[in-house]
Structures are given as structure tokens and as C-alpha cells.
Amino acid sequence: MVQPGLYDLDGRVVAVVGGGSGIGAAVAEGAANHGAIVAVLDANASAAKAVAARLGGQAEAAELEIRDRKAVGVALNAVARTRGRLDVVICTPSINVRKPILQYSEEEFDRVVAVNLKGSFNVLQAAGAIMTAAKRGSIVIFSSIRSQVVEPGQSVYAMTKAGIVQLVRTAAAEFGPFGVRVNAVAPGVVETPLTAPITANADWHAAYANKSALKRWARAEEMIGPTLFLASDAASFVTGTVLFADGGWTAVDGRFTPPGM
């Protein structure tokens, strides 16, 4: 028997960290369209406010620097206190410095790790504390195809995205007894501000498009479905998993189509 409303988020309180732009903004809009009360949290306060204003209704916005552990706890607890609950936390921010290992500076290493890995850990820890106490909730952290496949210049970024997968799995094991689910979304190449340097290079852009089975890049809004699936009751028995939304990038091995195929 099919249950109606599996994907509904009516009345759920959803905090989207990194909701000021790119995938985060798309997911925030998608959550609102599915009935959620959305808190848009972003290091760029004006961008967060612009997205919340566009969502209307009960949407709110606040500035949040995810590298600051205390600030993350304060922000998520403020949402839970104001709304009386916190049902879903989605964490999307990441940065990348594309550089060979031998050219990486200590400052660049620390910056990428601080945002991608430490920041994700801070969000996971703060959300987990709130949700395990409430004995309910869903946390979705963004990883990447780079957790599995790499290329030159992706060392530290790939390391952080692989680390996120293990964080998610461990959190799923630790939070599961309290009724809290934790999962990751691993996008392929998505047209966002982060990938703007690639999309500006026609050859680079085309090369990435041809790596996937679908032969194209994803749009930010195509990450809404995978993310909200994990956030919703449709995924009530899904935890500790990585959902690859990569157009078949990680499934396609050979890049040559044999004759007659």
C-alpha cells in the first residue's frame, strides 16, 4: 500500500546551511515548496536574507560561519528554540583550491579542510546534539564524486569529501539508536559559483560533461530531489548511505564505446 505524503515536509523545520547560493539556495527553495519552514544559514548574510525573502512565508535567515564551532551551535539551537523543533539540517558549503600536491601551501590546506571537513563536522555535531535529545531528525551532508574518483589537483578537496562519507557513516551508527538519520549526497559536476572557473572554459566544461553517462552537467535544482528524499519520510529506513547524484559519472568506467555497441 502506497503511503500518501511521503515526500511532504509540511510543518517541518529545515535548516539549510550554505543556503545563500548554488545548491544550498536551490534546496532551500525546494524544501519551502514542499511545505517546510526554512532557515537559510550562510556566511554571506545578505545572500541568505535574499533567499529567505524570495521564499517568503515563515522563512528566516541568519549569518553563519561554519568554521566556528560555537557559532554553529548557537545558530542551530536558535532555530530549534524559536520554532520549537528542528527536523532537518542540510549542510552544503565547500571550497576547493585546485593545485598539485607539491605546490599546496599550508594555508591553502588549512582553509579547505577548515570549511569542508571541520565545518561539516561542526554542523553534524550541533545538529546531532539537538536531534538525539529530541529523538528524531534527519541530517544531510554534501560529499562529492571526488570521495571516490579523483584527478590531478583535487587532493585536499577529495580528501575532505571522503572524510565526510566516514563522518556520516559514524554519525549514523551513533545517532541511529535515538531515531536520527544521517546521510550524504554526492553530486557530480553541477553548475554553481564553485564551478564557475570550469564552466568559463569551453573545453574543460565539455570534457566534464562527457565524463557522465548523461553527457551533461547538472543544474543546481537537480539536487533538490535527492536531498529532500533523504530528508523526508520516504527515506525513513535510509541512514549511513551516500546517494550519488552524478549523472552516472561513477558508474561509467570505460570512455570508449566498442564498435557495434
Catalytic residue selected from 7, 104, 157, 208: 157
CA dist 92 and 18 (Å) reads 5
Catalytic-residue membership of 157: yes
Question: Any idea which residues carry the catalytic annotation?
Answer: 157
